[in-house]
A and B are shown apart, each in its own frame.
Chain A
Amino acid sequence: MKPKVAIFDFASCEGCELQIVNLEEAIIDVAKLVDIVEFREAMKESSDDYDIAIVEGSIARPIDEERLKKIRAKAKILIALGACAHLGGVQRLGNRFSPDENKKEVYHMARPEDISDGNPYFKEPRHRALDEVVKVDYTIPGCPINRVEFAKVLVALLTGKKPPIPDYPVCVECKKKENTCLYTVGGVCMGPVARGGCDAICPTYGGECEACRGYVSHPHEKAQMDVLAKYGLTAEEIMNRKTMFTSRYTEKKGGE
């Protein structure tokens, strides 16, 4: 019997789910391996009966927490899909400010009673990664995810192999692709501490790495910050680079 897979989303742009759809012809092979029973972005059916839950998005409000816990209770395996589920996403930057400050900034046209805590959709939004709420079995990092890697993780799960998420910096794949290091042409990049597996797609097209896949397991953070300073960044600019996707690590250290 093929394992049943359900794909869910929380606070996110759903771009990672789109990457699954973007597998194109390979999605037919995926469908041969698993039964997709729920996937809001690609099909209208839904089901409460699944073995593997693949979850995109960050967990912001009590109602999200509750829904995720229900998913966790039903799934044998729970996979965090993408940077929002893995790290809390870019939206986690909002955690630097109070919910009220955020609401004032974003919904300043709304009537206060509509966005108060009395409305569950607006209650105390604080963005968290999935594993800060429930147990997560596997994580597919990235913003968006690398769809080739998604397929590899699926293959690994079905064959009892540890999902092949690399634990080396982006520089490794960047060098193998023979890219010009951004630092050598006046740029900066988080590649030396960021987790690889993306095939260095941003530096390949001239963009700097923002560590959307989080850090490697043992980042040489101090050396990285020294390098950013050496390359002329101000403390604020360094902080911005450090928090774009990875404020989770800073929050943990009580830095914010």
Chain B
Amino acid sequence: MKIIKREDFKAFVNALIKDSGLDVEGVKAKGEKFAFGPLESADDLRLDYDVTLLPPKKYFLPQYEQLLKFDLSHPFSVDRPEYPRRKVVIGVHPYDIAAIRQMDSYFLDTDISANYLRRRKNTLIIGCDVMKVQEKAFFGSMGTGVMHSGYDLYLTDLGDRVAMEIGTEAGSDLLRYAKNIREASPVEVQKVKAMREAMAQKASRGLIVKPTGWHDLLEKNYESEVWKKQSDKCLGCGTCTLVCPTCFCYDIQDDLNLDLKTGERLRTWDGCLLRKFTEIGSGEVFRDDILDRYRHRFHRKGRYLPDRLGFVACVGCGRCASQCVPDIADPVNLINMLFEASPHLVQDSLSDPHTVRTDLQVIQTGDDAKMLHMPQAATIKRVEKLSAKETMFEITLDSGKTLGHTPGQFVEVSIMGMGEAPISVSSAPNGKSFEIVVRKVGDVTSKIHTMKAGDKVGIRGPFGRGFNVEGLKGRNILFIGGGIGIIPMRSFINYVLDHRKEYGEVTILYGCKEPCEMLFSKEVASWSKRDDIQHKRTVDKCPDGECWDGDLGVITTLIPKVKFDPKTTVAVVVGPPIMYKFVNRELLKLGVPEENIVVSLERRMKCGVGKCGHCQINGVYVCKEGPVFNYRDLKNLPEAFK
């Protein structure tokens, strides 16, 4: 530990500010509150602050961040954002350091975000001890009051002197801007240690269940009345998520300039408390009820992220608690209420291996960091209108490579200036090109409907987990497709038909509302002619004047009309949400084992790489673990078939 006199410390900060190659940010007063902002003088730095309005996450995941630039006057021109400038952030409290380490683990774990990594690597963190505890803070209860790493330098304000601990070589290197540094005496070291521990003690607020027990408590109280009681007061304003240092969800928007040529794709903070968070192109909102959104936030922090990354995603800063107007966001209150509302639970019985991890290492990454949101150029080769709303596009990647997808996977289709949409690949993996079928519902899908052969689109992916085409070889397969569910399913059907001998008995059932909605009509007709598969098709109704050669009635009515052995057949079911309810019930009744029912689900897959948070079904990321799921794995997820 080093010691520097206050005036020398000020000179040190001013020397940093003077360096034109550095952006120096620090805690400053903002009205009656505090905020991190650009420092113009060491006099503005307030190391005596309690908490900042926003956490320093804004330096690593800015409120608005350019993901790419584009220029529509060229066939397909996308450019990386500019490299972030080198920054020093002064005055980061230990709980916020803990949050940054959690953020590292989130963005630098798998699918490393190059945007995040660039900012993280170019930002030095100067931590500081908490001198004044904000009323709602509870970092003492969360074990984040004392950090032993995660900073480059660490300060403790001793009045006339400032104690400095060196965390990294880069931090040590910063000291060349400082003068008159000496080693701390053992008394000073002791004093700092005592102050620190006393402060952590002070920031404990009677949290009944320790963070190690949150997972259990939340899991056992998913249906608790507390959720309704609290969420009835919720404004749905999103504040709790926006001010949280461990909320990372984001939205992506395109912004086209007035020249109608140039523009940028932006990433901006989003929050799961906002109603639009789970809305998909067709207008369906998967967490429409505020109760579901309110509950999701706590479960993501106490259960879903712990399951995924091994830590409770709350560091006890108290920002949500102090900024929630109806005062329902406070984790201490919520956890205590849940515990008190479930008298059958014994405090000590609540345990699990998760804790608030503060020892996460910054993952050292080099070239494996990717511009996760950078699409590759692709060309539309062929356009075929399939119905009033659906059109098929055959696409090749300009790189000459094949897409390399598994049937059931999806791609993010990009139209610069419009945005991106997740679209399932509907062709089997054969040949250089792939096919997607697009239903006209939103901006991107409407725009692509105006495109023709030769036009350029951007493609990211393939993403997600597709059908287990290899594992199902030799098995009997019953395909049940409803409406546009046939689109992703077709990639698997065609794969099976291409490798017919490698599979057992194959049955295809396909249903639509009306004959005019039937897709791939030529292929469907060819299924009837094959003697190595069973096929039946149906429509709910056939309006006068339309021709129809199949059955009449909902899709479930086809099931008893075909022969299959429920014990040995794998059912692949893809369709609208309502269809799953009835078809799955029917299949289970017939004795098809749960693990033999395979479904594909639709959610708002915005990023495709498990970061933006929109597609979550409880703790499951549809874009990573889905869209193809085994029914057995989903039935315990209350949000799956809601």
Contact = CB atoms under 8 A, between A and B. Distances in A.
Given A175-B54, A175-B238, A218-B275, A185 B31 contact: yes
Interface residues of A, number: 43
B258 A29 contact: yes
Nearest to B447: A160
Interface stretch (A90-98, A125-133, A166-174): A166-174
Interface string A194-223: 000000000000000000000011101011
Interface stretch (B152-160, B193-201, B227-235, B295-303): B227-235
A32 B258 CA distance: 9
Given A161-B443, A172-B238, A175-B54, A227 B31 contact: no
A169 B236 contact: yes
B32 A185 contact: yes
Q: Is the interface of A mostly helix, strand, loop or mixed?
A: helix
Contacts, number: 112
B63 to A, nearest CB: 4
A181 B447 contact: no
A220 B235 contact: yes
Contact of A178 (B35, B239, B417): B35
Interface string B18-52: 00000000000011110100000000000000000
B573 to A, nearest CB: 32
Contacts of B290: 220
A167 B242 CA distance: 16
Nearest to B35: A178
Give chain B's interface residue range (CB within 8 Å of chain A): 35 or more
B494 to A, nearest CB: 33
B55 to A, nearest CB: 10
A155 B443 contact: no
A178 B30 contact: yes
A199 B585 CA distance: 49
A168 B258 contact: no
Given A161-B443, A183-B325, A184-B322, A220 B234 contact: yes
B236 A227 contact: no
A160 B443 CA distance: 7
A145 B289 CA distance: 31
A223 to B, nearest CB: 5
B618 interface: no
B248 to A, nearest CB: 15
Given A178-B30, A181-B323, A227-B326, A192 B237 contact: yes
Interface string B238-273: 110011000000000101111110000000110100
Contacts of B446: 160
A2 to B, nearest CB: 12
Nearest to A186: B32
A169 B238 contact: yes
A185 B53 CA distance: 13
Interface in A17-39: 26, 29-30, 32-33
A220 B233 CA distance: 9
Contact of B237 (A164, A169, A184): A169
B274 interface: yes
B364 interface: no
Contacts of B450: 160
A151 B263 CA distance: 14
Nearest to B33: A180
Interface string A209-252: 00000001110101110110010000000000000000000000
A32 B326 CA distance: 48
Contact of A161 (B234, B237, B275, B418): B418
B442 interface: yes
Which of A151, A160, A193 gathers the greatest number of chain B CB atoms within 10 Å?
A: A160
Contacts of A172: 237-238, 242, 269, 271, 274
Given A172-B242, A180-B33, A223-B232, 16 more contacts: A151-B258, A159-B260, A167-B275, A169-B236, A171-B235, A171-B239, A172-B237, A172-B269, A180-B30, A181-B325, A184-B322, A185-B31, A192-B325, A223-B233, A227-B326, A230-B326
21 contacts: A26-B258, A33-B260, A160-B443, A164-B253, A167-B275, A169-B236, A171-B237, A172-B237, A172-B238, A172-B242, A172-B269, A175-B323, A176-B64, A177-B63, A178-B30, A178-B53, A180-B53, A181-B323, A181-B325, A223-B236, A230-B326
Report the 6 A-B pairs with minimum CB-CB distance, sorted nearest first: A29-B258, A192-B235, A171-B237, A175-B242, A192-B237, A176-B63
Interface of A: 26, 29-30, 32-33, 151-152, 154-155, 158-162, 164, 167-169, 171-172, 175-181, 183-185, 191-193, 216-218, 220, 222-224, 226-227, 230
